Amino acid sequence: MKISRFFAAVTFFAALALAPLTVFAADGKLPAPERGEDGLYKQSWFLESFLDLREDQKEAAEANKHYMVIWEQRGCPYCKRTHEVNYRIPEVTNYIKKHFNVVQLNLWGDKEVTDFDGQTAKEKEIARKWGIRFTPTMMFFSGDPKEITKEPGNKQDVMRVPGYFKPFHFTMLHKYVKDGAYKTEPEFQRWLIAEGDKLREHGIDINNLLWSDGFKLKLD
């Protein structure tokens, strides 16, 4: 089952997070995020959406991008860290912006959302329907509209990951989806270990990675 695989991935990365990792120089950050009235941190490049997920996915596909939903909530420390660390690294943000349309949803929100199955409900009701219990939770959907059906979103996501990932693993997660690697290797942690082995063969130590080395990863 997808969710159990990804809880295993979270455990795997919790262990990896203990390794030292220098990510970026202090003067290389993007501006600090601002909080909206709902208490969520905002990114200007998040998709401005009427929250009809079918239309959002179609728009992403037309732009040759994948579609991603990120669930957050007020007071979530790991949501804050995602915005204050990961999304402030230009190379990380530029890669995501290039390949994904991202919509932010509020775990306890009251905005009306139209699910892929056509049902319209409040954010918090969709969250319960989809089984979202932790924040942040990232849900990725296929970039191919032919693979999107009339089932609800929790039956269609190709990847679901709860929790905070350090920038390298965070970016590689997006690469895993963008490259469609989940179609041939359904275990993200196994794929990442293999990718790490390739990097080490080229003399890159991911446990002591400077983000400037990210250019060597050939993410594009």
> What pLDDT shows up at residue 115?
98
Whole-angstrom Cα distance, residue 137 to residue 20?
A: 24
> What pLDDT shows up at residue 24?
42
CB 71 within 8 A of CB 137: yes
Q: Closest Cα to residue 166, out of 134, 201, 209?
A: 209
CB 103 within 8 A of CB 68: yes
Does the global pTM surpass 0.85? no
Whole-angstrom Cα distance, residue 89 to residue 178?
A: 19
> What pLDDT shows up at residue 217?
54
Whole-angstrom Cα distance, residue 206 to residue 216?
A: 12
> What pLDDT shows up at residue 196?
84
CB 86 within 8 A of CB 167: yes
Query: What does DSSP say about strands 66-72 and 100-106: parallel, antiparallel, or unpaired?
Result: parallel
- The total number of structural domains that make up the chain: 1
> What pLDDT shows up at residue 53?
96
CATH number of the domain where residue 193 is located: 3.40.30.10
Domain residues for 68?
2-217
> What pLDDT shows up at residue 13?
42
Q: Output the CA angle 5-42-81, nearest 5 degrees.
A: 55
Whole-angstrom Cα distance, residue 173 to residue 115?
A: 24
> What pLDDT shows up at residue 18?
35
For the chain, 220 residues long, the average pLDDT of each consecutive 10-residue run is: 46 39 56 95 96 95 95 98 95 94 98 98 98 97 90 96 93 95 95 88 68 52
> What pLDDT shows up at residue 19?
35
CB 71 within 8 A of CB 162: no
